[in-house]
Structure 1
Amino acid sequence: MARMALLAVLALALTPMLSWALDIRLVRQWAVKYNVSSVLVFGDSSVDPGNNNYLSTTVKGDFLPYGKDFFDGRPTGRFSNGRLATDLIAAALGHTKTIPAFLDRNLKPTDLLHGVSFASAASGYDDLTANLSKVMPVSKQLDYFRHYKMRVIKLVGAKKAAEIIRDAIVVLSMGTNDFIQNYFLEPIRPKQFTLEEYMNYLISRMSNNIMVMHSLGLTRLAVVGVPPLGCMPIVRTLMGEGKCVKKLNLYSSLFNSKIQKELATLKTTLGMKSSYVDAYGIILDAVNHPQRYGLTVTSKGCCGTGTIEYGPTCKGMRTCADASKYVFFDAVHPTQKMYQIIAVEAIKSIDKSLA
């Protein structure tokens, strides 16, 4: 009954007129029941709250209009108009309003206890993807997690630190850049792999990273699938398509099926509680049936023309009047409203894995 009540609350959260600020008591009771200590995040721009601000890279979102609907309307490095799905998950669980970047120079010791993000925009499962943009590959993100562990041990002691890490929810969200900014643009990987071989290579890298996470004491994992790549406004523009590009969506779907299969294998071999977050399905449904979510614009982003602008080309551009009506904020990244919808899906998936 408690689980049914939780799902009912989550279903209500999808109603356009409601927000995460309303009726989340049962969600927080669920978090207490499973001793959810914090949210720890690895990935790309979908979950980077500003780590790239501190890197020598051009891949940054620390300028307006990014953050225009964030607290105080300030840019933070998040590639959206407001908070990310991981911020909203943490807020729903009652830990913190936002997940800070681990590299944030204003990070307080107590912030570590609620969760942090090691994610780096433009990274991917393939280290080459990150290297092309001079950002942090997953291997570096895991190195920073090791630093995080040492800091938490110093703060609360080894025993308590182990409990915090064991009971944390880990979110892993990446893969888009491996295709959009690497395989489909750069000549290196296509010369080495067919597309399916490359997908298998990415899965092997994902699997290896998850095994490292497990060896470091992490036991609860939520992997976010890649979105429908063919529905990104910039892809539709470059491919000259009025609708989503079916071929790219098929690639996304195939890769996601491989993720799910590998997670099932790892669940058996590692005994890790893992879940899959179907970002593909929820975004595709929002694009095809926007009225279900109170959305109206699905083919372009809120920034600039909405057809090609993202990152530096979005800087200082005019935006739409109401981003909450849009699926995408720029030509690649979702709006805070879309991330809210994904956050609901994520909590439902995590709930199933912990039950």
Structure 2
Amino acid sequence: MSSFYTLMIPSLILLTILRTTLFVGAKIPAIIVFGDSSVDSGNNNGISTLLKSNFAPYGRDFYGGKPTGRFSNGRIPPDFISEAYGLRPFVPAYLDPMFNISDFVTGVCFASAGTGYDEATSQVLSVIPLSKEIEYFKEYQQKLKAYVGNQRATSIISESLYLVSIGTNDFLENYYLLPNRRSQYNIDQYQNFLAGIAEGFIRTLYDLGARKISYGGLPPMGCLPLERTTNAIIGGQGAACIESYNNVALNFNGKLSGLIGKLNKELPGVTIVFANPYYALYDMIAKPSIYGFETVAVACCSTGLVEMSYMCDQYNPFTCADANKFVFWDSFHPTDKTNRIVSYGLYNEILKHVFPN
């Protein structure tokens, strides 16, 4: 996987980052997470929404075999990144009543499944908008200061690694599904609209003390099992990926990469890496046997064609016995094994060099 992640940062930006941070020697005290279902560790459990996964068979390969609200059979990327840095092997959700500020000192997740950059996206399934995730982060900072003191809290906030993964829902659950945004923007204009929100979000994180950010892009969203199924039903093309969606993902990732290069120059003391999952995930889809996978076009859960959330419950008789043979757990989300490969690839290729522990 040595070539996948080097494609994610323009070489000059990466060289600058390495020169300025490799020898700092700062320890990563915590992992702080923002985004959507790709990184939500259970916040949707605490809100009124239909988009939940806190029931079997979700979590069957997590610790204790229990569902947590993660959209996977096991762990999600922040969990693996946290473990790689020698922290807790999972990042708790901020709204999980089982955890409190003493648990959040070494990591906390504010992400909400189904959300996006666009506030209209979060309204589709009544989930937490990105702006509210920021409000929770502000609240967390106050609790942290009260718990560990201002000086240590300030150090934790500035030295922590911030993981951000968001954007897929804006396209698949909003722009391509509902008419409103399509009537306002063509696809390139909508990408620019989202990129503008992304810039404002990063600047807000910076103003709130974040200095080390791993910023995710879009996956090959046209290859998700749900989109392959849609393609087969509408276009009669079997289980083929929707290449137009993949091209949108690549184009938007290019915009994000340019934005990150700009902000690295403009924001003093910040280091942002573009931790784009596209190429690593696409390689697994294109060459599954190399990674020990057998199935990519359908997911493990149920028929693997369209099911997600409550359609993937314990009463469905078709769920696969071994999720390790599948790239995708449900029609939208990767398996624990896929998450592990992507996460450790990211850590080994970029994060441990740019943000050493």
Pair in the same fold by TM > 0.5:
yes
Say if 2:93 is the partner of 1:101.
yes
Letter in 1 for 2:352: D
> Match for 1:52 among 44, 52, 56?
44
Secondary structure of 1:116's counterpart equals strand
Q: Which residue of 1 aligns with 2:346?
A: 346
Where relative contact order (Cα < 8 A, 6+ residues apart) is larger, the structure is 2
How far is the alpha carbon of 1:111 from its aligned partner? Answer: 1.0
Structure 1 residues 11-26: aligned runs within 5 Å: none
> Match for 2:75 among 76, 83, 90?
83
How many corresponding residue pairs? 329
Say if 2:279 is the partner of 1:281.
yes
Distance 1:321 1:159 in 2: 50
> Match for 2:245 among 245, 248, 262?
248
Letter in 2 for 1:304: S
Distance 2:103 2:2 in 1: 26
Say if 2:130 is the partner of 1:138.
yes
Say if 2:145 is the partner of 1:153.
yes
Secondary structure of 2:163's counterpart equals strand
Structure 1 residues 258-337: aligned runs within 5 Å: 258-271=255-268, 272-316=270-314, 317-337=317-337
Q: Which residue of 2 aligns with 1:189?
A: 181
Secondary structure of 2:107's counterpart equals coil
Deviations 1:128-180 (A, max 9, x none): 10122111111000000001100110011111101001010000101110000
Q: Is the 8 A contact 2:195 2:256 kept in 1?
A: yes
How far is the alpha carbon of 1:255 from its aligned partner? Answer: 0.7
Letter in 1 for 2:213: L
Q: Is the 8 A contact 1:170 1:222 kept in 2?
A: yes
Distance 1:86 1:324 in 2: 19
Q: Is the 8 A contact 1:10 1:344 kept in 2?
A: no
Letter in 2 for 1:132: V
4+ aligned runs moved over 2 Å, structure 1: 30-34, 348-355
**Structure 1 unaligned regions, length at least 5:** 1-8, 12-29
The worse-fitting range, judged by mean Cα deviation, of 307-316 and 206-215 is 307-316
Q: Is the 8 A contact 1:304 1:319 kept in 2?
A: yes
How far is the alpha carbon of 1:34 from its aligned partner? Answer: 2.7
Normalising by structure 1, what TM-score? 0.89
Task: Give RMSD over aligned pairs.
Answer: 1.8
> Match for 1:173 among 156, 161, 165?
165
Question: Aligned residues: percent identity?
Answer: 37
Distance 1:61 1:158 in 2: 36
> Match for 1:198 among 190, 194, 201?
190
